Structure 1
């Protein structure tokens, strides 16, 4: 059997597993590399009997492992990382080793193995706090945490590998991606799954700060579409950086109100001291992503709440594998729509989730 065209590092994690599912739905074979430190094969439970997915458990810092994963691959969608600002503050050395060291290993092995293109999962954390909104790619980065520094350093490496070695690269700066396969467990969990899990358990929702801080939440199908557009664009990529977001912002207080509305209940909120490293306001200008790869956010954050809540309900009642299968079963109602462009590549846009 021929080698897969695509390698997804971190493919057993939140965004990575959604990318894998979308590629398989488009008829592609995919290789997945994950060390399972934060991901789980259960995220791919709906594909466990599929011959379209090849799994490799291993560390992106190990060049031999990465070489095995890159063999015969055309495009690497590099999602593997140690996420979370608080985690990086608690352990900056490991965050740097995995995020920077691992990414340099992926880039170096990829160019030696003849990989054509690497799509890097960057982060809006690189911007830090800025007085001007929306945030655009020409702004000078002001990272506020070790995590943000690691992501910015990786963007530089992507630019350098494109310039020196001719490896096509692009960095997708994600803004607060959320959706199915993102779990609420652990002290480093993201806001929306934490809020939903607390609401389902009828616990107070903990907000760090006054709740008037704003975020540009991006539903995961939008991020998946951005990756596939970047992977398949006929344009030659040379280390560009683009924002991937919803292009709208909402306060955390208003987010809680909307979660309560969708769930049909009034939620209790508990405000705590702000956390170090958190930015105050975030809003993206996505016009460069539209110009470069044709990206447009198709799913509003409000529309993404219902499938996210359903996933976390299933996770709480039946476990991760069952929740992942539920997502796959409902995929036709909120699927990614693929169309071949004039150059024969697969383009992708996210379709709106329909009520079920």
Structure 2
């Protein structure tokens, strides 16, 4: 197939960076354009030093700037849209989350039509499927079961509406007369080295005598390692570029998990960090229904204080629900249609993440020692 080019939005993010690293290894990829609102200096340097023949063009711009998006899409063969505001705690205004995650996606789709980009891959989220209630139980769910999150919390709602817009755009006529082909990937909770969430968890634990905070004691999840989630995007790009080979993926969504054992979020954090002397928190945890209603009370307090003080509760109903439910999904459909096999095993993923946690521990303890001197 002739040379091609790819635009990755959210390229400075945890998943976006991995996608770029795998993309530049693709043969015949002439250019990758990496787009984000602002790149951290270390990310900029990392992209600058990529060992590749592929041209890497860095673009800093707003996903809500339609003209900028149209210029960014000019001459592009595939768009991978992983930019999003991920907000479980409700720290960002609802309008911001809806603007970036829904309006930004709609504007990018329109830019693809105007610039005649034939393929569009959307990084969706497991939260599009749910859980809608802490009572919901899904074990090895699949795409045919049609799980849909009925919550109006801005993050899952905006991602759900964004995904609907992407899948509805499949088959749209492009400006040059071609056809737009789209698909959507719904990764599970993504872990691995570079995860901001994991980093925050470890730093909090270091300040708490190496005791890990309680995140989701009642959950059963099947998290996905970051490189495996990124690999699924590469396969989707190949599939949409060669529709004759993979006619089934157009207009479809896929759950992306791997062979990480099903476990609670608390067990995952412990399994990744125990090598460095971290312990589980053995304190009593209220039953799930009580936790849920405590979350509701905290939200009410936050709402009542808003005119005079911006109180951020330690947790809310949405966090209690997503982090304490039995909610696991199979990757069989991605295996069948995309040829997806997770390239990184659980053992390797655990080892790599654990080594990275070790470097965080060293770095943080070094900072603490400097402060005490």
Q: Name the SS of the counterpart of 2:122 in structure 1.
A: strand
Q: CA distance change for structure 1 residues 228 and 276 in 2, over 3 Å: closer, same or farther?
A: same
1:97 to 91, 96, 99: 99
Q: Give the unaligned 5+ runs of structure 2.
A: 174-178, 293-315, 365-373
Residue 205 in structure 1 maps to residue 212 in structure 2: yes
Q: Name the SS of the counterpart of 1:242 in structure 2.
A: strand
Q: For the residues of structure 2 that align with 1:41 and 1:284, how far apart are their CA atoms?
A: 37
Worse-superposed segment, 163-172 or 221-230: 163-172
Q: Name the SS of the counterpart of 1:5 in structure 2.
A: strand
Tell me how many residue pairs correspond in the alignment.
306
TM-score (norm 2): 0.74
Superposed CA RMSD: 2.7
Match of 1:339 in 2: none
2:350 to 292, 301, 305: 305
Q: For the residues of structure 2 that align with 1:203 and 1:316, how far apart are their CA atoms?
A: 10
Residue 24 in structure 1 maps to residue 30 in structure 2: no
Match of 1:60 in 2: 63
Alignment deviations for residues 119-164 of structure 1 (CA, whole Å, 9 cap, x no partner): 1000000121243322222323024332111111111111211144
Q: CA distance change for structure 1 residues 268 and 131 in 2, over 3 Å: closer, same or farther?
A: closer
Q: CA distance change for structure 1 residues 159 and 266 in 2, over 3 Å: closer, same or farther?
A: closer
Q: CA distance change for structure 1 residues 316 and 109 in 2, over 3 Å: closer, same or farther?
A: farther
Q: CA distance change for structure 1 residues 315 and 72 in 2, over 3 Å: closer, same or farther?
A: farther
Q: CA distance change for structure 1 residues 315 and 42 in 2, over 3 Å: closer, same or farther?
A: farther
Q: For the residues of structure 2 that align with 1:181 and 1:208, how far apart are their CA atoms?
A: 19
Shift of residue 316 of structure 1? Answer: 6.6
Shift of residue 194 of structure 1? Answer: 3.3
Structure of greater Rg: 2
Counterpart contact for 1:13–1:181, Cα < 8 Å? no
Counterpart contact for 1:6–1:31, Cα < 8 Å? yes
Match of 2:301 in 1: none
Q: Name the SS of the counterpart of 2:68 in structure 1.
A: helix
2:279 to 263, 267, 292: 267
Counterpart contact for 2:138–2:327, Cα < 8 Å? no
Q: CA distance change for structure 1 residues 199 and 182 in 2, over 3 Å: closer, same or farther?
A: same
Alignment deviations for residues 156-210 of structure 1 (CA, whole Å, 9 cap, x no partner): 1112111443311110001001112322xxxxxx3x333333445544322245x
Alignment deviations for residues 90-112 of structure 1 (CA, whole Å, 9 cap, x no partner): 52211000000000011110121
Match of 1:294 in 2: 339
Q: Name the SS of the counterpart of 2:137 in structure 1.
A: coil
Q: Give the unaligned 5+ runs of structure 1.
A: 184-189, 320-356
Residue 40 in structure 1 maps to residue 40 in structure 2: yes
Match of 1:9 in 2: 9
TM-score (norm 1): 0.77
Match of 1:241 in 2: 253
Residue 142 in structure 1 maps to residue 155 in structure 2: no
Q: Name the SS of the counterpart of 1:111 in structure 2.
A: helix
Counterpart contact for 2:215–2:265, Cα < 8 Å? no
Counterpart contact for 2:85–2:100, Cα < 8 Å? yes
1:171 to 184, 195, 204: 184
Matches within 5 A, 1:110-259: 110-129=112-131, 130-138=136-144, 139-144=146-151, 145-165=153-173, 166-183=179-196, 190=197, 192-199=198-205, 202-208=209-215, 211-233=217-239, 234=242, 235-236=246-247, 237-246=249-258, 248-259=261-272
